[in-house]
Every structure is written in C-alpha cells, then in structure tokens.
Amino acid sequence: MLSYYLKLPYNTTILPTRGENLVPNRVRNVNVKAYVKIYGLEGDKDLKFLLDGGNLVKIRSGSWQKSRFFRLQEDCETLSYDSQKILKKIKTYSINEIESVRKGRESEGLNKHTDPCDEDRCFSIIFNDRKKNLDLMAASPEEADQWVNSLEKVIGNMRNLDHQQKSEHWIISCMRKADKNGDNMMSLKEVKHFLRQINVEVSDAYAEDIFKKCDESNSGTLEGPEIKLFYSLLTKREEIDVIYGKYAKTDKQMSAADLLEFLQKEQRQVVTIEEALRLISKYEVDPVAKENKQMTKDGFLMYLHREEGFILNPAHKPLYQDMNQPLNHYYISSSHNTYLMEDQLKGPSSTEAYIKALLKSCRCVELDCWDGVNGEPVIYHGYTLTSKVLFKDVIQAIKNYAFKTSDYPVILSLENHCTLEQQKLMAHYLISILGDALLTKPLGKTVPTSLPSPEELKGKILVKGKRLNKLDAAFNHNVITEDETVSEEDEAADVTKENGQKPKSKSKIKLAKELSDIVIYCKSVHFNSFEHSRDNQSCYEMASFKESKAFHLAEASGTAFMHHNMDKLSRIYPAGSRTDSSNYNPVPMWNVGCQIVALNFQTPCKEMYLNQGRFLPNGFCGYILKPEFQRDPSSQFHPNKLTKGPWLKKKNFHIMVISAQQLPKLNKNKEKSIVDPLVKVEIHGVPADNGKKETHHINNNGFNPMWNQHFKFEISVPDLAILQFVVEDYDAASQNDFIGQYCLPLTSVQNGYRHVPLLTKRGDPISSARLFVHLMLLDAQ
C-alpha cells in the first residue's frame, strides 16, 4: 500500500473537491488515492459523496440552527466543517471517534428542537467519549439517507481494516502532516517532524544517520523508494525477526512443518499439520510461497496481527457458553444510576446514557422514578441538582436500543418514589411502549421453582420492583383490586440529600396494582439473613445490597452468600456517599456469585475496565455463565478461605512483556510531547491470587518501545481470575498519565506470542496501538 502511495504521479485525478480551506488539489488527489486504496473503495460513489461534501444544518437549540459545509478530508478518516469562530475556521472530527450514526430524531436535541415532520431529514453523529453529539438536518430525506449510509460505510471499512492496514493508514497520515510544503518529498527537517508525529524522540545525530542511509540519491530529500526504505527501517520488528528466524528452517522460510512446530511449542496449541496449512492459505501474502505451502515473514506477521494471534481465544469471542441455565447462574452486566452522564449531585440526566449502556451490552439498567410536573413521571437522582428526563422518553429509548447489541433479556430496576397516579402512568408507558417485549406473565403454567434461562427470555424486558403479592396470584386468580402499602426499596431508603441528611419521606409507599402486576421474576424484597431467605424467599424474589453490607457478608459468610446466589438473584449497588459516581471493586462480589453487580457506567475507571473485561467473551452478550463450583449445591467454596475442591487448580502464569507498537500521543497539540511508556500487569481474583507487576519505563518512545521483562504470578482459582494490562506515561514528578488498557478473564487467554489490543478509558479501541507479549499458563509443580 505504501509503495503504491509513493509511486502515484502528481497529475492523477481522482475525485473533485468542493468547499474552502482545502489543501492543493495535486497533493489532495495523491493522498486521497493512497487512502482509498487502503480502504478498498476505489470508485465508490458513497466515498465520493463524502469527499465532495455538502451543506447540512447543525442544530444546537430551537434558536441556534445554522448551515455548515461538511466534507470528508483527503485522509478519509477526518470529518470537517467550516466553523464561524474567528480563531478556528475548520472544526474536525475523527471517524475513529464516532460510535454510531443514527437516522431520525433519536437524539434528545433533535427530539426537542426539531419538528416531527422533519424526521426523515434528521440524523445524529454520536461520539465514543463525552464529546457532544452532532445533530444535523439535510435538505431532503434522500440526502439524509445518503449521508447516513455513506458515513456508516466509511466507519465500517475503518473498523474492518486489519492491523497492518491501520498501521499504514496512520503512518501515511503522519507523513502527510510532516510534509509541510506538500511536495511528496521529505527533507531532514520534515523527517524529524514526522518522528515526533509518530511519538518517538530521537537525537539529531540518529535522525541524520537514518536520513543519510535512505537518501541514496544524495539529493537532500527522500522521495519514492527512499521513503519506502525509510519506512522499512522504521517499522522493522526485531523481536519478530528473532522468533521467525528460530522456526524458518526451510530455505529461510517457514514450511508447514516449521509453522506446526511453532504452534505446538510456542503457542502451546494442540493442532495438526492441517491447521498450519490453513494459516498459510489464509495469511500468506506471497503467491509463490503460498503455492509452495510456506510462510514468509510478512505472512507470519499478518497471522500474529489477526484473530488467531490475539490474546483473546477466538473460540470465546462469539457466543460459546450454555445459555439454558437459570438466570441466576450468570453474571449480568449491570448499571447503577444509568440515567446520569456525569456525577450524581448536579450532572445531566439523559436518555443518551441508557443508549450508551445498552450498546455496551449492559443488561440491567436503573430508573429512579419521581413525580414530575404536568402529571408526567420523571427520572433523576432525587434530592440533588441533577437534571430530569421524562420516564416515557427513557422507556422509548430502551425499546429502541435494548437488543441492538445482545438478544438476551434486559432488566429494568425501578426505584419507585412516585404517587399512585403517576405509578399507573408508568405502568401504562411500560405496557404500551414496550409491547410484546415486556414480560407481563410467567412463562410456564405452574408457580416457578427456578428462574427461566436467558435463552427462554430472549428479546424480553423484565421489571424489577416491589410486588403486592406472591407470584402464585398469577396462577390461582388471587386478584387484588386495591392498591396497598409496601416498604420502600432498600436503595430508595438509602437516598440522602446533598447535605447527607435522610429525607423526611416515609419508609412505606402506596404501590399501584398496575405496576405491581408486571413485576414477575424480579420481585424486590428486604434481606434479613441467609437463613431467612432460604426458608422464606421464593426463587423470583431478590434482594439489593449496598456495597458495604455486601462486602461484609462476602468476607464473613462467603460460602453462605454463594449458596444464596445459587437459586436467587442479588443486586449490589454503590454507596450513596459516592457523589462523584465513583465505583467499588466488582471482583469480590463476583467471587461469591453475585449476579447484578451494578456500576456507574458513566465513570471511566479501573473498576469499569474490569467489568468490560469480565463480559468481553461469550459474544459480548452481557451474560457470563458462573463457574460450575458456584452453581453446585454441594460446593463449599469460600474465596477468602481456600480449601481443596474443584475450584483449586494451581497454576504458574508467566508473562513476558516484550514490546508495544504505535502508542498514542497524549498531548497532540504539543509536538514535542513524547510518552515514556511503562506497562502494569495485574491479576484480579480471589484474594490469594491478586497481584501486580510493573515494567520499567522507556524514555521518549511511544512508537516501538521494547521492555522484554518477565513476570510470574501464582494462581489458585483461575476460573475467577481476570488479567489486566494498563499502559501509562511515566512521570517522576506527578501521577502517571493513562495511555491504554485491556482486560479479559484468564480462562479466555491464549498462550504463546500474542498481540494485545489497547482500549481507551471508556473501552473504545485505540487504532493501531498494541502490546506484544508472551504468555504461559502452566500447572504448578
């Protein structure tokens, strides 16, 4: 791809351009063709539409709706428009930052500030981080469709690029930025600028040395093949050369037998020669080598950068677990205060927060319901300054997005503070908006003795809340005709005012029959003791625990807590004192089998990294089957007091942190801001297994730092262990800055030489950035 880019003639005409503030057409056309080639979109009409650009109305409020010229820049990954701000004439957005493009008036802004008759002309661009949505309106429905379809195609192509393509795309972008005068040649000064662009600081002497090696024509600039040579020297992976050289025993290439030896010895895979031949057929790029059933170094690198070479076992990426066990046999990805975008004292409430959580496969969301004006129930954090959002708008958002990422059931955890009339309206909205998706009666014909499975509840939405009677009433026609009083939810009773005082509300509330009747498998009850629950609690009755109480029970009565969770659901929620919406460690709760471990999804933090890692396998469906020893009634497992049992599988886990590639610059506005990366490796599981190791830091190199540091962890209960990598920018004077992270269950880790993709704080992929490690999980002697 890169050589193709370098050989393009200057007079190549690709696509016409419109708009102002564009780079010269000659340079733009050369750059466009290079990127189009990488994407495989030559001649594509949708890409041409975006590169041409057009006018769209940008909508901020009812009074602020202004026309702007939008277009895709020549790198095919930057959307821009002409800003009216004096100091910033062009506003840009990276395609990599876009989470989704939504057709219609589905954002809060468009829903509030546009007319329903303009539905077909509206669309929103939603970003991964806290960046505000772009709410836009096209001149016609056809043009809106064109924008949405074209953007989705480019976003999809960007996400489907392999690592090598992403790497080349990124390097070409950096070269383009370094080529200040747009002459497609690189002077020594531009080479130095380019090196800083790719996050590596070198001495002037080294830069001059590499420049002279590549400037074979002695012209004082690099062009054509000289830039390709420069690229080859820059991207040389010494660690890959060593590994490949050890096993390339057949005319300095890997035969199928050589590759099989590598797979068996290094990757510790139980495979046959057929698997080696399959990998050669799939990844070898040289047709002659492929014909000879051999793998070149380029093919080997391609294999290491694809699914088979990643740390996550590819067999665990799709849905692979038994989904026919009772609901309480699974960990369930769960959110607390789902409506909040920021802190829980004065932050905004939004339907967008529900959408983002559901799209991350969250399967239990929380709705704090209060009386609103004009008889309309609202959702917000009571007794605080957080903004309010209409209950019906939240239910509509849930209806639209509940099953976009996962087909498995969604639980609505209601915290009900409403009067009877508004409760009845809540029930009306739930039934009328959710329709057939809402579970309004038990699945069987008899009173259940165990909960249904996620498979049986596919596509269903369950309500968790108070119920006026036992579920038996649904079968024996024990009809209640009057609303009755019930105790508040445990969490509702814990709500405090901003000054920390308890509100003066009563501990009991009137419950509307209409709302009571749609609570089926998640009836909220107060927890007294494990013995009381065992003797009095039905399988569909569940308790909620504040984190402090849950941690105490897990520490003092771990085995009893685990047995409680074998046939009942438990929900854990953060303490009300976490006004900044921080999170507690979810791992000790999973260790005793708690299913609904609710976290503040709006807060990027270490605890959320762990949550994403826990639910990464099994098709990212939001449900993970608990280990068998947490489901077996005869089990005596206690995470804090390990005894012999099927859970005890002592392992030695060896990790070599070898290198990293293309780490992002943290301060892109400061050219000389180069990272000094280090890697933290942690194990989170039962207390005996928790551990942390850390590499030394590498000065001034985020492009290809190399550590070659070995760590060893002793693991007792691998079924509960989570492996976490965190890459940081070392700072001697203050706290290290975050660069990237990745988590996954130890049971889903592949042995051998593996690449580790890196994610942002919010769990979005960092394009091109990788760790390269060697992993070995061995039985302890």
In a shared domain, residues 103 and 149: yes
In a shared domain, residues 560 and 596: yes
> Does position 461 have pLDDT exceeding 50, yes or no?
yes
The whole-chain average pLDDT of the chain stands at 87
* In a domain? residue 571: yes
**Model pLDDT, residue 498:** 40
In a shared domain, residues 503 and 574: yes
**Model pLDDT, residue 758:** 96
Question: pTM for the whole thing?
Answer: 0.88
* In a domain? residue 643: no
Q: Using the 8-state DSSP alphabet, how is residue 476 labeled?
A: H
In a shared domain, residues 221 and 304: no
**Model pLDDT, residue 417:** 94
Q: What is the DSSP annotation of 718-738?
A: GGG-EEEEEEEE--SSSPPEE
State yes or no: 464 annotated in a binding site.
Answer: yes
Distance between CA atoms of residues 484 and 490, nearest Å: 18
Contacts of 58 (CB under 8 A, 6+ apart): 65, 66, 67, 68, 81, 134, 135, 136
**What torsion do the CA atoms of 316, 317, 321, 324 make, to the nearest 10 degrees?**
180
Percent of the chain with pLDDT over 70: 89
Nearest CA-CA partner of 732 in 772, 671, 676, 690: 676
Task: Give the distance, in angstroms, between the CA of residue 392 and the centroid of all CA atoms in the same chain.
Answer: 28
Residue 141: give its domain's CATH number. 2.30.29.30
State yes or no: 58 annotated in a binding site.
Answer: yes
Q: What is the mean pLDDT of residues 601-614?
A: 95
In a shared domain, residues 581 and 435: yes
* In a domain? residue 672: yes
State yes or no: 467 annotated in a binding site.
Answer: no
Last residue of a domain, one of 234, 268, 291: 234
In a shared domain, residues 523 and 543: yes
Predicted confidence (pLDDT) per residue in 311-338, tens digit: 999 999 999 999 999 999 999 999 999 9
CA distances (Å), origin 397, targets 383, 389, 391, 393, 422: 25, 12, 10, 6, 20
Predicted confidence (pLDDT) per residue in 649-703, tens digit: 999 999 999 999 989 888 765 555 789 999 999 999 999 999 999 999 999 999 8
Predicted confidence (pLDDT) per residue in 487-502, tens digit: 766 665 565 444 344 5
* In a domain? residue 121: yes
In a shared domain, residues 8 and 91: yes
The number of domains in the chain is 5
State yes or no: 284 annotated in a binding site.
Answer: no
State yes or no: 571 annotated in a binding site.
Answer: yes
Residue 300: give its domain's CATH number. 1.10.238.10
Which pLDDT band holds residue 28 (cuts at 50, 70, 90)? very low
Q: Which residue has the tokens 């130095």?
A: 192
**Model pLDDT, residue 481:** 54
Token duo for residue 10: 């200057």
Q: How many other C-beta atoms are found inside a 10 Å radius of the C-beta of residue 193?
A: 17
**Model pLDDT, residue 234:** 78
State yes or no: 88 annotated in a binding site.
Answer: no
State yes or no: 179 annotated in a binding site.
Answer: no
Which pLDDT band holds residue 29 (cuts at 50, 70, 90)? very low
Give the residue numbers annotated as catalytic, written as ranges.
336, 381
**Model pLDDT, residue 445:** 87
191: domain range? 185-234
Maximal CA-CA distance, the chain: 95
Which pLDDT band holds residue 479 (cuts at 50, 70, 90)? low
Q: Which residue has the higher pLDDT, 130 or 440?
A: 440
**Model pLDDT, residue 163:** 67
* In a domain? residue 316: no
**Model pLDDT, residue 416:** 94
* In a domain? residue 708: yes
**Model pLDDT, residue 488:** 67
In a shared domain, residues 109 and 30: yes
Which pLDDT band holds residue 384 (cuts at 50, 70, 90)? confident
Q: What is the mean pLDDT of residues 17-29?
A: 36
Q: Which residue has the higher pLDDT, 205 or 525?
A: 525
Residue 620: give its domain's CATH number. 3.20.20.190
State yes or no: 166 annotated in a binding site.
Answer: no
> Does position 4 have pLDDT exceeding 50, yes or no?
no
Residue 381: φ, ψ to 5°: -90, 105
Last residue of a domain, one of 583, 601, 630: 630
State yes or no: 535 annotated in a binding site.
Answer: no
* In a domain? residue 720: yes
In a shared domain, residues 428 and 552: yes
Helices 188-197 and 163-178 pack at an angle, to 10 degrees, of 130
β-pairing verdict for 134-137 and 54-59: antiparallel
Last residue of a domain, one of 570, 600, 630: 630
Q: How many other C-beta atoms are found inside a 10 Å radius of the C-beta of residue 604?
A: 18
**Model pLDDT, residue 482:** 63
Q: Which residue has the higher pLDDT, 387 or 477?
A: 387
Predicted confidence (pLDDT) per residue in 108-161, tens digit: 889 889 999 999 999 999 988 667 889 999 999 999 999 999 999 988 888 877
β-pairing verdict for 570-573 and 596-599: parallel
State yes or no: 65 annotated in a binding site.
Answer: yes
State yes or no: 208 annotated in a binding site.
Answer: no
Predicted confidence (pLDDT) per residue in 198-236, tens digit: 777 777 777 888 888 888 888 888 887 888 788 778 778
Which pLDDT band holds residue 58 (cuts at 50, 70, 90)? very high
In a shared domain, residues 360 and 490: yes
Predicted confidence (pLDDT) per residue in 392-411, tens digit: 999 999 999 999 999 999 99
Which long-range contacts (C-beta less than 8 Å, at least 24 apart) are formed by 273-277? none
In a shared domain, residues 228 and 256: no
CA distances (Å), origin 672, targets 189, 255, 314: 14, 45, 39
Q: For the chain, count helices (H), then strands (E).
A: 25, 32
At residue 27, the 3 state secondary structure works out as helix
* In a domain? residue 702: yes
Radius of gyration (Cα) for the chain, nearest Å?
Answer: 29
Q: What is the DSSP annotation of 263-320?
A: HHHTS-----HHHHHHHHHHH---HHHHHTTEE-HHHHHHHHTSGGGBSB-GGGSS--
In a shared domain, residues 138 and 209: no
